[in-house]
Amino acid sequence: MFIPLKDLNPHRRFPIINVLLICANIAVFLYEISLPPHLSKAFLMANATIPARFLSFLDGNISFAGAFVPLVTSLFLHSGFAHIAGNMLFLWIFGDNVEDYFGHLQYLFFYLICGSGSGVLHVLFNLHSWLPALGASGAISGVMGAYLILYPNSRILTLVFIFLVPIPAFFILVYWFFLQFIAGVTTLGAVTQGGVAWWAHIGGFLIGMGITWIAKSRAKVQLY
């Protein structure tokens, strides 16, 4: 068992957007748990991504906003303390340097594109499901994919059983993606009963890698 705790890659600028994203997620979660159970459920259902709503939109039974806006709003919802703690830890570890590379406003757009794109992939794999999908995992997966492209050799201080070990980011991120991919493949064709949206993780990671690879390639071309 190992838990990443901190990256050892310094950033040049204060990651204001990353900090604000973490604060926004925490604020929304605190609002969620302050609501009575029936209102909390209604709030989640209204703002979570529900794949079957996209079919309802195509049939003319629901508005565009009702189907598509939750691709963004769902990124700020979490189902419990462990869910938000894990997501915010990974965003804190990997987000600052990615924001450093893209710049503040571009990083915000990058984050939202990865998150909404991961939601679309989840929808495509679960078109008939009425189960709500929520959490920042898809967007954070995109941040992790970007980190793999940008800083594969950066060391991540990791808790390995009871020891703190600096491990290359490449190993941690590739291993993490491998676990998501295997889990996603094993759920293909299964009836969804809830749990982790594996394909949102996979999609977000690949989108993040792709955008960052293109951005990095263009930057090299401009240098020449």
Residue 148, pLDDT score: 97
Residue 153: burial class (beta carbons within 10 Å; 0-12, 13-18, 19+): exposed
- In whole angstroms, give the CA distance from residue 49 to residue 71: 6
The three-state secondary structure class of 159 is strand
Q: Tell me the C-alpha distance between 157 and 149, whole Å.
A: 19
Query: pLDDT tens digits, residue range 13-28?
Result: 999 999 999 999 999 9
pLDDT value for 203: 95
Model confidence over 67-103: pLDDT tens digits?
999 999 999 999 999 999 999 999 999 999 999 999 9
Mean pLDDT score across all residues of the chain: 92
- The CATH architecture to which 2-223 belongs is Up-down Bundle (1.20)
Which pLDDT score, from 0 to 100, does residue 191 have? Answer: 53
Where is 220: in which H helix or E strand?
Answer: helix 198-223
| CA-closest candidate to residue 106, choices 29, 13, 24, 173 | 13
What's the pLDDT at 11? 86
